Homo-oligomer: A and B are copies of this chain.
Amino acid sequence: MLKNDLLLKALRQERVSRPPVWMMRQAGRYLPQYIELRKKYDFFTRVQTPELACEITLQPVDLIGVDAAIIFSDILVIPQAMGLTVLMEEGKGPQLPKVVATSGDVNQLNLDVEGEMKYIFDALSLTKKELNSRVPLIGFAGAPFTLLCYMVEGKSSKGFEKAKAFCFTQPELAHRLLSKITTATITYLKAQLKAGADVVQLFDSWSGLLSPDDFDQFAGRYLVQIAEAVAPHGPVILFPKGCAYALDSLSQNKSVSAIGIDWNIRPEKARTETQGRVTLQGNFDPIKLLGPIPELKKQVHKMIKAFGPQAYIANLGHGIVPGIPVDHAKAFVDAVKEYEE
């Protein structure tokens, strides 16, 4: 039994005394203890060594007091397990030297990812043990369209024009790639839940680059397919960043427990779109964490009030950024804990 099960209660839409709070990318970047580890171990050593991943995952629980841990990993572990080379140099963003371009490239992708990813299941089991039932543990994966973006473009990009052109000019091949990623992701998320994750989140960081119709074609249907396959094993949070237009349709699916939103939509509007069908998560602009602490806390309370404190998970609207002072990150979490209706 978890000592703090606020997150799971909020996901089940059960009444809570206050909303649970965690922060996307809470493990890493802005934490001096993480930056110390980064000096000693390169990115994939940190991800692939269960003891290190566990240590990093626990840091924000211990230091900031969040209501959930999220396993330290990366969305690109799936393309990697499927056979692509992924390079992570500090401050450069991911690089995939060999991209997916042809039918042959898609054929070659490995679907038997579970064996490749033992390290992450070990990290989850170890973290689950070390957490000692303090808070729930979140597993995650990148959503198919977002992974396609990196696999086709080969690096991060403002508009992922090449990846989108791939979808629009070779839709059949794109769907074959998306289907393979979907299959691998379902395997991966189910195994994460089995290994110790209490809930999983799908990060669709780039689907907001698509129009509503193209989202339905190339992103939404795969999100739903994954949610439906995974939901019997544990709650699923979808985070289709920049897709306010998809809130109505995604929330209609009973396999979706929660939807994360960014700050590009008013909380009240998101509630109207979802009509109480799902829990909502978000949506504080991480750059606003830089503001003076009293103002920051005032704005967090305003946000909670706008969402309403039930069926709600307080979070940022995107990952925390480097350079946020630790006391400001903590003030965000404290503000949620101090909230009174």
Q: Is A266 an interface residue (CB 8 A)?
A: yes
Contacts of A242 in B (CB 8 A): 242, 264
Given contacts A212-B265, A264-B211, A321-B161, contact A288 B168 (CB under 8 A): yes
> What residues of B have a CB within 8 angstroms of the CB of A321 in the complex?
159, 161
Segment 243-297 of A: residues with Cβ below 8 Å from B: 244-245, 263-266, 269, 283, 285, 287-288, 290-292
**Min CB distance, A272 to chain B, in Å?**
12
- From residue 197 to 249 of chain A, which have CB atoms closer than 8 A to chain B? 208, 210-212, 214, 242, 244-245
Asked if A285 contacts B244 (CB within 8 A), the reply is: no
Task: Bits for A163-187, please: 1 = Cβ < 8 Å to B, else 0.
Answer: 0110011000000000000000000
A284 CB to closest chain B CB (Å) equals 9
CA distance A266 to B317 in the complex (A): 22
Query: Closest approach, in angstroms, between the C-beta of A158 and any C-beta of chain B?
Result: 6
Q: Can you name the residue of chain B whose Cβ is closest to the Cβ of A157?
A: B158
Contacts of A156 in B (CB 8 A): 158
Tell me, in angstroms, the Cα distance from A158 to B241 when the chains sit together: 14
Q: What total of chain A residues lie within 8 Å of the partner, measured CB to CB?
A: 30
Contact between chains at B208 and A264 (CB < 8 Å):
yes
Is the Cβ of A290 less than 8 Å from the Cβ of B212? Answer: no
Q: List, in ascending order, chain B residues with CB within 8 A of A212's CB.
A: 264-266
A231 and B265 alpha carbons, distance in the complex (Å): 29
Residue with the highest number of chain B CB atoms closer than 10 Å, among A245, A264, A287: A287
In addition to A210-B285, A242-B242, A244-B264, 7 A-B residue pairs with Cβ atoms within 8 Å of each other are A156-B158, A168-B291, A169-B292, A211-B263, A212-B265, A214-B288, A244-B244
Instruction: Identify 30 residue pairs between A and B in the complex whose beta-carbon atoms are under 8 Å apart, listed by A's number.
Output: A158-B158, A159-B287, A159-B321, A161-B287, A161-B321, A164-B285, A165-B287, A165-B290, A168-B288, A168-B290, A168-B291, A169-B290, A169-B292, A208-B264, A210-B263, A211-B263, A211-B264, A211-B283, A211-B285, A211-B317, A212-B265, A214-B285, A214-B288, A242-B242, A242-B264, A244-B245, A244-B264, A245-B264, A245-B265, A245-B266
